[in-house]
Amino acid sequence: MIGWVNEFETVRQISIQRSFDSLKNFKTILTVADPSIPENGYVDTKASNDQMFYRLYIMLDKGAFLFSDAKRPVLDTVVKRDVVKTDLPGINTPVIIKDSVVIGPVNGNNRPKADVFVPSKRVFTFKDGYVRIILPSAGDKKYSIKFFTPEDEMLFELKDIKQKDFKIDKTNFYHSGWFKFELYENDELLEKNKFYLPKEF
């Protein structure tokens, strides 16, 4: 689990990055839905081992950005813990946990925990900026996907999908930002989620 406390007044984007070492080859595994949430976290269930390194990419106003220190998971067996101080201005962590017991709020107050965005395993933004679709049972089962704006206005629909693994060009979405989707399997709703297209085009 990667958790942090955000003390910046204005944050445009926070992304979690993972690498096999602490110096290079970091790849973004998640861009959080709302970077302004003061306290947030994410559970990495797809790491190949528990010795990976993690850091936060933090974008501020006017294109300014910075990275947190790279950290490796540590076992957390306490019920409540103090905020870990770093040299990074505005960020009191990240705290990275390999295995966790139920813990109290990071900053010690009674503010409710924010919902953590969990990206879809079937419809997600790929590293090249395109939207990737993975449907292992396509062909055997009937799939369709509806795409929506954040205001729930329908953009377009893919019907009777036969391909098991394909990409949708990002230009189909006209702009960067969040988009919602509904995935149907045999005309029944299988998943309702969202994805983020970065400002690269």
Decide the pairing of beta strands 143-148 and 39-42.
unpaired
d(CA 24, CA 30): 18
Residue 125: which pLDDT band, with cuts at 50, 70 and 90?
confident
Q: Tokens in use for 51?
A: 């010795």
Is the CATH code 3.30.70 the one for domain 123-197? no
Q: Is the pLDDT of residue 38 over 50?
A: yes
d(CA 72, CA 49): 11
Say what the pLDDT of residue 98 is.
Answer: 36
Element (H, E) at 123: strand 123-125
Decide the pairing of beta strands 74-76 and 95-100.
parallel
Mean pLDDT, residues 81-96: 46
**Matching residue, tokens 């400002």:** 199
For the chain, give every domain's residue range: 2-100, 123-197
Mean pLDDT is lowest, of 56-70, 77-91, 129-143, 186-200, for: 77-91
Cα distances (angstroms) measured from residue 84 to each of 44, 93, 163: 20, 5, 47
pLDDT tens string 59-74:
888 778 888 888 888 7
Say what the pLDDT of residue 37 is.
Answer: 80
Residue 110: which pLDDT band, with cuts at 50, 70 and 90?
very low
pLDDT tens string 157-201:
999 999 999 999 888 888 888 899 999 999 999 999 998 887 754
Which amino acid appears at position 15 of this protein?
A: S
pLDDT tens string 13-33:
999 999 988 777 899 998 988
